[in-house]
Amino acid sequence: MISPAFTCGSCGQVHDGLPFAYSMPAPAYWSAEMAENPASVLGEEQCVINDEHFFVRGRIVLPVRDADEDLEWGVWVSLSPANFSRMAEVFENPARVHEPPYFGWLSTVLPGYEPTTLNLKTNLHTQEIGVRPVIELEPTGHPLAVEQREGITVARVREFAEIAFHQ
């Protein structure tokens, strides 16, 4: 879907296209020097830090009440070693859709939220093969959890875009 250009509330310029998806390339705890350390690995879907912290990539979906599209945050959550192994074991197995949810700590700082989104409690829901897991926030009063439950509007999507274009 082609998103319309919009006039930016931050700089007054017209920016091309309003993004409805963002994705973070690594967990918040990752740093470039870790790539030198064989005990730390950053992949497309998984990340291990120092052989003791285990992260996977997932999606937080926020319904947009006045648009046809949802907003998606591509995020990282940390899993227990047991769940991380289990997830890898069933990664190529179509029956993985029957996995119970895995508990995960959100390991991404999303822009536009106060207090921080780091270390919010989540559940990871495994999807069919080829589809990244869906991350469900613990139903608290945190603004991100509220937005996942109640949805957002295009005005909020624009706020995210203004932050992203001016970072």
**Could you give the C-alpha distances from 18 to 1, 12, 129, in angstroms and in order?**
11, 15, 29
Q: How far is the CB of 153 from Zn ion (least distance, A)?
A: 19
What is the number of H-type helices and E-type strands within the chain?
Answer: 3, 10
Least spacing, CB of residue 12 vs Zn ion, in Å: 7
Nearest-approach distance from CB 22 to Zn ion, in angstroms: 16
**Backbone phi and psi for residue 114, each to the nearest 5 degrees, phi listed first:** -140, 125
Residue whose CB is nearest to Zn ion in the complex, by number:
8
Nearer to Zn ion, 113 or 165 (CB): 165
Binding site for Zn ion (CB under 5 A): 8, 10-11, 165
- In angstroms, the CA 162 to CA 12 distance is 10
Please, which residue, 13 or 50, has the CB nearer to Zn ion? 13
Q: How far is the CB of 16 from Zn ion (least distance, A)?
A: 11
Burial string for 28-47 (b: 16+ CB within 10 Å, else e) reads: bbbeeebeeeeebebeeebb
Nearer to Zn ion, 10 or 23 (CB): 10
